[in-house]
Chain A
């Protein structure tokens, strides 16, 4: 067989029982990229789409030109960011355990990716709308969504704002800027563009944010979303969360021989940045830059958030079957919570003691909430919702055939 006839199959650098190896990932030092003008064109975007916006250096110091975008960011706000991430992680841990105990059927954690949603959400305004995937719970936590609603959805009990209609983690929280999650990957990416177009058509100052993972960039609607954003130039931030894995599939299978996900946008004429997704400060700065651009009517922008999926894909997944067990520890961008914590300590705004105390308070708060939510029913101790609910909300008004089916059921 000649070389020309051999197919290429991308493989991750390490499989189970091998040593984790991220040597092929180039991580530029913090502070090396300048801040482009907000009217950046796709043509001038390449250094930002192939480089990486990073602010926190190895010693936890904030360095480089992007720090200028954080001038008014107070220590209080940074501590609030740390708290958001700690809450997110505590909620994840509790709900992961709840699934292990059989109290809920399913859960998806976002461990290691907390900074992205937590920092981005804090830069939004009321009226802005996220079109998240199932791994952006951090947006909800930073939007101060009631923990009872978040957990109620996981248990599908009476506290669930969507009445037990969806799989755990498929939240919907309109008032918190969180569009209804669908199990179908990619679909929300183009819907977000439609929402943003409606913002423009209705002369509102609100914007939309689309979200997609690295694996789902392979879906048709990633292309649809980018193309329509390019054609109509609505106020939208298109976010790609590159956590290196799509269930068991190495990110190289989604990217092919392409370079970065950010650089894909350039072919559509959409400028793009690639950002250290585990650097809370970089996420704040890049989000601010992008939001200023889209709010000014300068058109869409894509951001690739570079991170690592620390946990299993879901509670139905065992990553030790396809990647080294300790791969997360070798991840060169570290842990977003640890890095922000270190920065605050270096700046004299935080301490180990305060951190331990904060963690304990948060765990306590989350456990109290969990107890309350579980008192309204869990998988093992159900308080069933009315079966008549099956028929409500299929349509605005219940048509005759649904009425008959409900009656057939005895309601």
Chain B
């Protein structure tokens, strides 16, 4: 099986779908001729033509608004917002239009679109190149929200997202674009080429939306994570020596209740991780769901390790990003409770 970076896997997913379905169309800022600031769409315009892959003005509301109009006619736009931090001008079109079109028109019009956006920190991106706005989407009925953590998942989930009949917000952890990140920022960066998760099947395959994956089976504690935090969880579990079960949620909305419930009922302990700020973050929803479904199985309070309730800083990057040490401490605390 060929090794691919997450960037290559995402590009391959779009390549496969452009070839497979004439309704698929790709656009956004710099995605056409140049191939995207992260190279995710490199070569696609040359291969499929400007009719299928093209550049847009710098206007996020227009990017999504155009896509809503196209999707309503049956096309399948897969558009890009250059950074998740810049999705706010499009929030009106995403939440009030794309998310509700099927419902409010009683299914006369539908909105099969994908909005890709690079998300997350750990790259010295500062305030507007590091945010994790997933909770602003998971609160919106009618959207699906996906965050892959491996090249294989990225490809399979993006194909499923493009084929999905409803609007999908596809958040790509840019810290994972070129390799896994186990939270060790002082060492040399890893690449996907020598990692088992970098192995991606060629051609068409899909990974069903709404299904979590067990990254590491364990018996003592369940860690719920997604995106970059999946790897931080792995490193922290190893450091703490606890037999943790790490659940990579992959899709935040709709959530895989079954997998989460089964894991927590088995381990009796649960820790929730995300990069996003704590208050009203997606972790709050996870904790609420777990305590409601697994209350009598819980042996300890459910803790969460998240970004601090402050805008993402530049100089204090590694004091802000949830570190292996912080996660390991929380594991220990949960085990001792």
- 14 A–B contact pairs at CB < 8 A? A172-B106, A174-B109, A179-B72, A183-B96, A184-B97, A191-B65, A191-B66, A193-B69, A194-B69, A195-B69, A202-B75, A221-B62, A393-B107, A401-B257
Pick the contact of B102: A182, A208, A393, A401 (CB < 8 A). Answer: A393
Which 4 pairs across A and B sit closest by C-beta, in order of nearness? A194-B69, A190-B65, A194-B66, A399-B254
Q: How many A-B residue pairs have CB under 8 A?
A: 139
Task: Please report the total number of B residues contacting A with Cβ < 8 Å.
Answer: 44
Q: In the complex, what residues of A have CB within 8 A of residue B104's CB? A: 162, 165-166, 170, 172, 180, 182
Report yes or no: B66 in contact with A193, Cβ–Cβ below 8 A.
yes
Report yes or no: B142 in contact with A395, Cβ–Cβ below 8 A.
yes
Would you give the shortest CB distance from B311 to chain A, in whole angstroms? 24
Tell whether B93 is near chain A: CB-to-CB under 8 Å. yes
Would you give the shortest CB distance from A148 to chain B, in whole angstroms? 16
Contact A198 to B165, CB < 8 A, known contacts A162-B108, A224-B61, A401-B254:
no
CA distance in complex: A190, B63 (Å)? 9
Q: In the complex, what residues of B have CB within 8 A of residue A221's CB? A: 61-62, 65, 93
Residue positions of B touching A, CB distance < 8 A: 25, 51, 56-57, 59, 61-62, 65-70, 72-75, 89, 92-93, 96-97, 100-110, 141-142, 144, 164-166, 210, 254-255, 257-258
Report yes or no: A190 in contact with B62, Cβ–Cβ below 8 A.
yes
Pick the contact of B61: A183, A190, A202 (CB < 8 A). Answer: A190
Residue positions of A touching B, CB distance < 8 A: 129, 131, 161-163, 165-166, 170, 172-174, 179-180, 182-184, 187, 190-199, 201-202, 208, 220-221, 223-225, 227-228, 231, 393-396, 399-401
Would you give the shortest CB distance from B294 to chain A, in whole angstroms? 15
Report yes or no: B59 in contact with A227, Cβ–Cβ below 8 A.
yes
Contact A165 to B103, CB < 8 A, known contacts A182-B97, A228-B66:
yes
Q: In the complex, what residues of A have CB within 8 A of residue B210's CB? A: 399-400
CA distance in complex: A5, B324 (Å)? 56
Would you give the shortest CB distance from B333 to chain A, in whole angstroms? 30
Known: A131-B69, A194-B67, A195-B72. 16 other contacts (CB 8 A): A129-B73, A165-B103, A165-B104, A172-B109, A182-B96, A198-B75, A202-B75, A220-B61, A221-B61, A227-B59, A227-B62, A393-B106, A394-B103, A395-B165, A399-B210, A400-B257
Q: In the complex, what residues of A have CB within 8 A of residue B56's CB? A: 228, 231
Would you give the shortest CB distance from A181 to chain B, in whole angstroms? 8
Report yes or no: B106 in contact with A165, Cβ–Cβ below 8 A.
yes
Would you give the shortest CB distance from B86 to chain A, in whole angstroms? 14
CA distance in complex: A163, B254 (Å)? 25
Pick the contact of B166: A129, A194, A395 (CB < 8 A). Answer: A395
Q: In the complex, what residues of A have CB within 8 A of residue B66's CB? A: 190-191, 193-194, 197, 228
Q: In the complex, what residues of A have CB within 8 A of residue B65's CB? A: 187, 190-191, 193-194, 221, 224-225
Point out which of A180, A201, A396 has the most chain B C-beta atoms below 10 A from its C-beta.
A180
Would you give the shortest CB distance from A174 to chain B, in whole angstroms? 4
B108, closest chain A residue (CB): A174
Report yes or no: B69 in contact with A190, Cβ–Cβ below 8 A.
yes
Contact A201 to B25, CB < 8 A, known contacts A162-B108, A224-B62:
yes
B75, closest chain A residue (CB): A198
Would you give the shortest CB distance from A334 to chain B, in whole angstroms? 36
CA distance in complex: A173, B97 (Å)? 16
CA distance in complex: A183, B75 (Å)? 24
Point out which of A161, A174, A190 has the most chain B C-beta atoms below 10 A from its C-beta.
A190
Would you give the shortest CB distance from B33 to chain A, in whole angstroms? 15
Q: In the complex, what residues of B have CB within 8 A of residue A208's CB? A: 69
CA distance in complex: A131, B72 (Å)? 12
Report yes or no: B96 in contact with A396, Cβ–Cβ below 8 A.
no
Report yes or no: B109 in contact with A197, Cβ–Cβ below 8 A.
no
Report yes or no: A162 in contact with B105, Cβ–Cβ below 8 A.
yes
Q: In the complex, what residues of B have CB within 8 A of residue A192's CB? A: 69
Q: In the complex, what residues of A have CB within 8 A of residue B258's CB? A: 400
CA distance in complex: A191, B67 (Å)? 7
Report yes or no: B57 in contact with A227, Cβ–Cβ below 8 A.
yes
Q: In the complex, what residues of A have CB within 8 A of residue B257's CB? A: 400-401
Point out which of B59, B72, B104, B165 has the most chain A C-beta atoms below 10 A from its C-beta.
B104
Report yes or no: A197 in contact with B69, Cβ–Cβ below 8 A.
yes
Report yes or no: A231 in contact with B103, Cβ–Cβ below 8 A.
no
Report yes or no: A395 in contact with B102, Cβ–Cβ below 8 A.
yes
Contact A394 to B141, CB < 8 A, known contacts A190-B65, A191-B65, A198-B70:
yes
Q: In the complex, what residues of B have CB within 8 A of residue A173's CB? A: 108
Q: In the complex, what residues of B have CB within 8 A of residue A184's CB? A: 92, 96-97
Pick the contact of B106: A129, A131, A161, A182 (CB < 8 A). Answer: A161
